[in-house]
């Protein structure tokens, strides 16, 4: 079985730890499943791949609104979030994913864990709360100082060469500030050293800016937790070596299931429908 070249990202790493089979289905098994002419089984894998948990959708709304609201203002940001939310509400109510499996499909609704209207009501309330949390954090003060000219245009997800590995990271935004390049990320203590290290390499590869002039802002959309740090705190070569090692470990001979995580897995419908010995993993 050939699973292509070596790729690594924190999400890939996390999904592989969750279940190697889920990793295979997500990154390899769903290929071509977007086509109306694809086999129903392939379409099912693709549909499940594109589905997202509700709280990821809310995170996505914040990231997308932050990327589109420059110069930043509290009102402009709230309006952008609201517009994106309303668009998503329409997609969820119309079940657009039935026609186009690439459009918004919320896992909890798909698996009948919650009624769509109740989900939307709870989500609207949660977004309002997150906007209040943001307002009382130090982040708006930083964002209002970023001019359009300071902004770094990035192509998401950002691709970075790490030796033989193609690595990916997904900063919310990046901007120049008094000779420094700053990255805003969703705060996550587990992934922080990886994302910050990859962004240092990105700064070098794309903008020729050395790590001594790179800094980071981390913000948790849910709790409002906030953290600033500079690249000086990073052990860049050690982390890059770790990324290469981890990338190699994502390509095992067999993508064994981790049944412990089936109850919360996006692919549980597929794994329940298709007998294990008929998975394409074994026929590829």
Q: Per-residue contact track with ligand SF4, 120 to 159, x per CB under 6 A?
A: ----------------------------------------
Single out the residue of 42, 134, 169, 265 in contact with ligand SF4 (rule: CB under 6 A): 265
Interaction of residue 41 with ligand SF4, rule CB under 6 A = no
User: Is residue 106 involved in binding ligand SF4 (CB under 6 A)?
Assistant: no
Site residues for ligand SF4, 238-257, by CB under 6 A, read 257
Nearer to ligand SF4, 25 or 92 (CB): 25
Residues recorded for the chain: 284
Residue that the structure tokens 């089979």 belong to: 21
CA dist list (Å): 78 to 49, 87, 95, 104, 133: 29, 14, 25, 21, 12
Binding-site size for ligand SF4 (CB under 6 A) equals 13
Burial class of residue 249 (count of CB atoms within 10 Å of its CB; 0-12, 13-18, 19+): exposed
β 165-169/173-177 pair status:
unpaired
Nearer Cβ to ligand SF4 (15/65): 15
Nearest distance from C-beta of residue 272 to ligand SF4, angstroms: 7
How would you class 61 by CB atoms within 10 Å of its CB: exposed for 0-12, middle for 13-18, buried for 19 or more? buried
**How many of the other CB atoms lie within 10 Å of CB of 192?**
19
**Contact with ligand SF4 (CB under 6 A) among 82, 268, 274, 280:** 268
User: CB of residue 80 vs ligand SF4: minimum separation in angstroms?
Assistant: 34
CB 31 to ligand SF4: min, Å: 16
Single out the residue of 41, 150, 261, 274 in contact with ligand SF4 (rule: CB under 6 A). Answer: 261
Decide: residue 124, CB within 10 A, 0-12 exposed, 13-18 middle, 19+ buried: middle
Alpha helices in 111-158 (DSSP H): 116-135, 139-143
CB of 108 to ligand SF4, least distance (A): 16
What's the closest the beta carbon of residue 281 comes to ligand SF4, in angstroms? 10
Distances (CA, A) of 208 to 2, 60, 201: 35, 29, 9
Radius of gyration of the chain (CA): 20
Residues in CB range of 172: below 8 A, 6 or more apart: 63, 66, 67, 184, 185, 186, 219
Q: For tokens 């499909």, name the residue.
A: 105
Footprint (CB under 6 A) of ligand SF4, residues 10-29: 19, 21-22, 25
Regarding 107 and contact with ligand SF4 (CB under 6 A), the answer is: no
Q: How far is the CB of 50 from ligand SF4 (least distance, A)?
A: 15
When the beta carbons of 141 and 283 are compared against ligand SF4, the nearer one is 283
**Residues in touch with ligand SF4 (CB under 6 A):** 19, 21-22, 25, 257-259, 261-262, 265, 267-268, 271
């Amino acid at each position: 079985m050939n699973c292509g070249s070596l790729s690594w990202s924190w999400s890939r790493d996390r999904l592989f730890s969750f279940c190697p089979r889920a990793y295979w289905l997500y990154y390899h098994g769903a290929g071509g499943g977007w086509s109306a002419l694809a086999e129903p089984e392939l379409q099912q894998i693709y549909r499940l791949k594109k589905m997202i948990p509700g709280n990821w959708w809310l995170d996505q709304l914040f990231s997308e609104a932050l990327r589109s609201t420059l110069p930043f203002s509290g009102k402009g940001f709230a309006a952008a979030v609201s517009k994106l939310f309303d668009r998503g509400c329409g997609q969820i109510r119309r079940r657009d994913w039935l026609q186009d499996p690439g459009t918004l499909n919320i896992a909890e609704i798909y698996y009948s864990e919650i009624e769509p209207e109740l989900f939307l009501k709870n989500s609207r309330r949660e977004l309002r709360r997150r906007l209040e949390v943001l307002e009382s954090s130090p982040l708006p003060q930083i964002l209002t100082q970023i001019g359009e000219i300071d902004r770094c245009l990035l192509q998401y997800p950002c691709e970075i060469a790490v030796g033989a590995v193609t690595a990916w990271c997904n900063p919310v935004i990046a901007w120049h500030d008094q000779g420094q390049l700053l990255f805003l990320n969703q705060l996550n203590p587990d992934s922080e050293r990886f994302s910050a290290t990859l962004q240092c390499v990105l700064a070098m590869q794309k903008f020729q800016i050395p790590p001594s002039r790179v800094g980071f802002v981390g913000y948790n959309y849910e709790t409002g937790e906030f953290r600033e740090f500079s690249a000086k705190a990073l052990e860049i070569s050690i982390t890059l070596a770790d990324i290469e090692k981890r990338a190699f470990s994502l390509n095992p001979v067999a993508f064994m299931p981790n049944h412990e995580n089936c109850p919360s897995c996006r692919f549980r419908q597929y794994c329940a429908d298709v007998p294990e010995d008929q998975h394409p993993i074994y026929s590829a």
